[in-house]
Amino acid sequence: MAPGSPLTDAVRDCAGCSLPYPLKDLFRCSRCTEALYCSSLCQKAHWGIHKPRCCFPILSETWAVTVTCDEDRRGPPFRSTVVGSAHGIHTYGVPSPVSSLVSVPILVYRHIREGSLSMTTRKGLDNQIVTYLMIDPLTGFAPPE
């Protein structure tokens, strides 16, 4: 690579302290190889935040983000949680079309197994955030189920 090329001059922020460093001076998390750090001190300090995002979850559990229904929202709509290997998302989870845009696997799981068009619902069970996640980027429509 020639000096002054975009690859040799690349600058990235340390995941721990958020300060910019030349890419060549940062080292990667050895577990997921995604997070970049300026020092082992920054990596250790950031581990509590990075651990749920690190790409090698324990086989018996997976980190997930739940989006509460409108009725259950008391505080932030997104909550991190651990789901076990027997959880229904592994069987009934539906891939979100948005996954391809953000390069992150997103599975949507409805805990109510009835079809959404035939079930009797309450307004509080609506979840507009998840509806947005199911919109097809090509058509602009979300599936009816």
pLDDT in tens, 4-28: 444 456 788 898 998 999 989 999 8
Whether 69 and 124 share a structural domain: yes
- How far out from the chain centre does Cα 132 lie? 15
The pLDDT > 90 percentage for the chain reads 12
pLDDT at 134 over 50: yes
In a domain, 140, yes or no: no
Whether 41 and 69 share a structural domain: no
Whether 104 and 43 share a structural domain: no
Mean of the per-residue pLDDT values of the chain: 77
pLDDT at 104 over 60: yes
Whether 42 and 79 share a structural domain: no
3-state SS class at 18: coil
- Domain coverage including residue 111: 61-133
Whether 44 and 71 share a structural domain: no
In a domain, 56, yes or no: no
Whether 110 and 83 share a structural domain: yes
pLDDT recorded at residue 123: 64
State the pTM of this model.
Answer: 0.46
The whole-angstrom separation of Cα 93 and Cα 91 is 6
Query: Which run of H or E residues covers position 45?
Result: helix 40-50
